[in-house]
Amino acid sequence: RHKFWETQPVGQFKDVGDSSLPEGPIEQPTPLSEVKQEPYNLPALYEWITCDLATDEMCGEVYNLLTHNYVEDDENMFRFNYSKEFLQWALRPPGHYKSWHIGVRVKSSKKLVAFITGVPARVRVRDEVVTMAEVNFLCVHKKLRSKRLAPVMIKEVTRRVHLENIWQAAYTAGVVIPTPIATCQYWHRSLNPKKLIDVGFSRLGPRMTMNRTIRLYKLPESPVTPGFRKMELRDVPAVTRLLRGYLSQFAVATDFNEDDVEHWLLPKENVVDGYVVESPLTHEVTDFCSFYTLPSSILGNPTYSTLKAAYSYYNVATKTPLLQLMNDALIIAKSKDYDVFNALDVMENESFLKELKFGPGDGKLHYYLYNYRLRQPIKPSELGLVLL
């Protein structure tokens, strides 16, 4: 049934729950000299390129491919529209490898028709911190679908990850392949209900009028928590301590150091937002919340072309109730003109979703590990990992 995935070192469906198999790496590393030194073969009309995302030109080509060919919802009403600034942030973290930003072009026209990326990350699985590749942005041009190009893209990124002596990966997808370590759900909190209804993102509830709906989702003008402010560079050590302490409770979680926190959580306009609560009395940083910005193109609507969405990222509450902290995040997002605030049911998010008027989305997000077996899938609430 999965001609490609059945050949890969991933948990296979037939092995789920088999407690005679150990947890951990499925295959052992091989000496680097035994890693294939040449790229995999592509159909003759195409060639591999390594994308230099530091250049505006290359970044623009990738942006155009993804804008027209990347992930859509099941009804093909919306398509992710990652910005160029976001792509540079997502793909150039500390220690990134340029060789893991892989494109495929048509030889004759030089047109970019496929893409896949990895970035290095430390992911803790139970007690073990494993250096992995986080693989993302797999995209094949709509006109080249179902030609088995995706397996070649995946094998090539795997080869280039192996060349850096890294043997595991983490990734998420909307499709089910062998074998999810967790299956999560997106929840959506309307900030601009009128627009969301107009574009078909949401529907007017039964016995609801537009005015009642607008009132239902109304939020205060500004955050309510005393000491709530934008995160600054000087907060990096405190935020790192908070995050490390918080994430230690989850079965699978990111292992952040200060350099990672500076890159991934320090606010970057229209890319990532981070806020702290600094105690007005002690000036101690006690809480932290963050979201990233990922608009979607609205396909075929005469009035609106983009949906401005915020996605909950990492949040840590030690003094402020998590519910209040996230309500403040909603208030900030609303004040910055986002239309919707999305969150997965990972970490402790279930504790605030219903109360803060998030509604469940359709479609699931599956989490995967490459070459690392878990005996059983874990619950979303055991995941402390958010991929972009």
First and final C-alpha spacing in the chain: 28
* Residue 125 Cβ vs ligand YNC, minimum distance, rounded to whole Å: 14
| Known catalytic residue at 388 | yes
Q: Which is nearer to ligand YNC, 53 or 330 (CB)?
A: 53
* Sequential DSSP letters for 78-92: EEE---HHHHHHHH-
Q: What is the DSSP letter of 204?
A: P
Q: Choose the one of Mg ion, ligand YNC, none that binds residue 370, judging by a C-beta under 5 to 8 angstroms depending on kind.
A: ligand YNC
Q: Which does 5 bind (CB under 5 to 8 A by kind): ligand YNC, Mg ion, none?
A: ligand YNC
- Report 44-103 residues binding Mg ion (CB under 5 A): none
Strand residues in 71-181 grouped as ranges (E): 78-80, 101-106, 112-125, 128-140, 168-173
Contact call for residue 147 and Mg ion (CB under 5 A): yes
* C-alpha distance from residue 141 to each of 59, 71, 144, 212 (Å): 16, 11, 5, 43
- Binding footprint of ligand YNC on the chain (CB under 6 A): 2-5, 69-71, 133, 135-140, 145-151, 154, 157-158, 161, 166-169, 171, 173, 175, 177, 370-371
Q: Does 139 interact with Mg ion (rule: CB under 5 A)?
A: no
Could you say which of 243, 353, 356, 388 is catalytic?
388
Q: Helix axis angle, 258-265 relative to 236-247, nearest 10°?
A: 100
Please tell me whether residue 272 binds Mg ion under the rule CB under 5 A. Answer: no
Least CB distance from residue 54 to ligand YNC, whole Å? 21
118-155 b/e (C-beta count within 10 Å ≥ 16 → b) = bbbbebbbeeeebebbbbbbbbbbeebeeeebbebbbb
Q: Least Å distance between CB 352 and ligand YNC?
A: 27
346 binds, among Mg ion, ligand YNC, none (CB under 5 to 8 A by kind): none
Closer to ligand YNC by Cβ: residue 166 or 181: 166
Distance CA 245, CA 300 (A): 46
The CA angle 360-197-355, to the nearest 5 degrees, is: 35
Which amino acid is it at 311? Y
Q: Rounded to the nearest whole angstrom, what is the least distance from the CB of residue 260 to Mg ion in the complex?
A: 34
Return the axis-axis angle of helices 84-91 and 56-69, rounded to nearest 10°: 110
Which region, judged by CB under 5 A, interacts with Mg ion, from 142-150, 303-311, 333-341, 342-350?
142-150
Nearer to Mg ion, 92 or 141 (CB): 141
Evaluate the CA torsion angle 339, 343, 344, 350 in order and state its sign.
negative
Minimum CB–partner distance for residue 276 and ligand YNC (Å) = 31
149 binds Mg ion (CB under 5 A): yes
Residues binding Mg ion (CB under 5 A):
140, 147, 149
Active site residues: 388
